[in-house]
Amino acid sequence: MSDHKFRFGVVATPEGGGEQWAATAKRVEELGYSTLLMPDGLQLLSPFPSLAVAACATTTLRVGTFVLASPLRAPRAAAWEGHSLSVLTGGRFDFGIGSGRPEAQRFAEALGRPWGSAGERLQAVAESIEQLRELDGDRHTPVLVAAGGPKALALAARTADIVTLAAPPLSGRDHHAGMVAQLRDAAGDRDLEIAINLFVVGDEIPPWTRHFIGADHATLVANDSQTLLRGTPAEMADELQRRRDAYGVSYISVNGAFFEQFAPVVELLTGS
């Protein structure tokens, strides 16, 4: 279903200062990952300077936001930051954006920004991408859109280079296949790279991850959750190939808690 080759990213945040973060970026690159991705929120450091440090510490590793919450910045401001990082990294930056998880509302309020309706937040995503394209000129910063509902999938189909499937944590492969079918119908001839994020690798789930996704390991298994991957490296690689055959996903990001554990799968599949 997909002509895209496998590539992999790590979703992580800085801990312990700039030197430790730079060392993490170097290790992610050394293990063969394509991208180091960073979430957005006032409980974290700002993603743009953090990703600039990571890019400066590496030579081939791409960096990206995963994903900006559109209510936290005016569209022109988000585009300005993204374009600047694209230029400064020599084109190694991916502009990831979405309409924001519910908990981002308090961040918007703290910044004095309107939260807005779902439609207004999605419109801000579209405007941020338009502003980025205007600033880029002849440059093309890859855009990743996190999309779940029909309207977000339609916007991603029109504007994104990469679409990460923002499905509920307990969603199985049939739900993901349905999302991709909607996406491809709306995209027409546009070639999109389809991504998913793995919250859990193996048979243990960190307490903070369990709290974040609201489910224990057994529940994830029972629901064939696509945010979980387990087994030996060969078994996990086989399962990812089945998912690519089923709904075209080829870009896999993984929770930073598991990037060392997941590295053998990266070695088996990258570029295949």
Residue with tokens 């298994």: 221
CB of 236 closer than 8 Å to CB of 203: no
How far apart, in whole angstroms, are the C-alpha atoms of residue 2 and residue 110? 42
pLDDT (0 to 100) of residue 94: 98
Buried b (16+ CB within 10 A) or exposed e, 146-167: bbbeeebbbbbbebbbbbbbbb
pLDDT (0 to 100) of residue 2: 73
CB of 68 closer than 8 Å to CB of 96: yes
Judge if pTM exceeds 0.75.
yes
Going by DSSP bridges, is the β-strand pair 93-98/143-147 parallel, antiparallel, or unpaired?
A: parallel
CATH of domain 7-269: 3.20.20.30
pLDDT (0 to 100) of residue 208: 86
Give the up-direction half-sphere exposure of residue 16: CA atoms within 13 A in the CB hemisphere.
Answer: 7
Residue with tokens 């936001």: 65
Instruction: Print pLDDT tens along the chain (272 aa).
Output: 578 999 999 999 999 899 999 999 999 999 999 999 999 999 999 999 999 999 999 999 999 999 999 999 999 999 999 999 999 999 999 999 999 999 999 999 999 999 999 999 999 999 999 999 999 999 999 999 999 999 999 999 999 999 999 999 999 999 999 999 999 999 999 999 999 999 999 999 989 889 889 999 999 999 999 999 999 999 999 999 999 999 999 999 999 999 999 999 999 999 99
Here the contacts of 268-272 (C-beta below 8 Å, separation 24 or greater) are 268/233, 268/234, 268/237, 269/6, 269/8, 269/237, 269/240, 269/241, 270/5, 270/6, 270/7, 270/8, 270/32, 270/34, 271/5, 271/6, 271/7, 272/5, 272/6
pLDDT (0 to 100) of residue 3: 87
Please state the domain extents for the chain: 7-269
Closest CA to 124 of 148, 145, 140: 145
pLDDT (0 to 100) of residue 230: 97
